[in-house]
Amino acid sequence: MTAENTSSSVTRVVQCPSCSKPVVWGAAATYKPFCSDRCRLLDLGAWASEKYAIPAATPPDLDDFDTAKTD
């Protein structure tokens, strides 16, 4: 519980998950943690394609669950 450097704004630099470029983490970083909108979209695209690659399996016990709640 140390209260040091509470008022100083520490510049934090993170790596863009998409291109590994250093990104200054701050109010000006609009696309954080990405360096740009392009990288953000690229990552989102990768995510989407990964999602679509996984076959959507239907829950097998949905009917079971419904009949289970006998009141």
Which 45-64 residues touch Zn ion, going by CB under 5 A?
A: none
Task: List the structure tokens of 30.
Answer: 């609009």
H or E stretch at 25: strand 22-25
In this structure, what token pair is assigned to residue 43? Answer: 């990552």
* Of the residues 19, 29, 32, 43, which one makes contact with Zn ion according to CB under 5 A: 19
Report DSSP state, residue 44: H
Q: Using the rule CB under 5 A, is 40 a contact of Zn ion? A: no
How far apart (Å, rounded) are the C-alpha atoms in residues 35 and 40?
8
Shortest reach from residue 19's CB to Zn ion, in Å = 3
Closer to Zn ion at the Cβ: 20 or 62? 20
Binding residues (CB under 5 A) for Zn ion: these are: 16, 18-19, 21, 35, 39
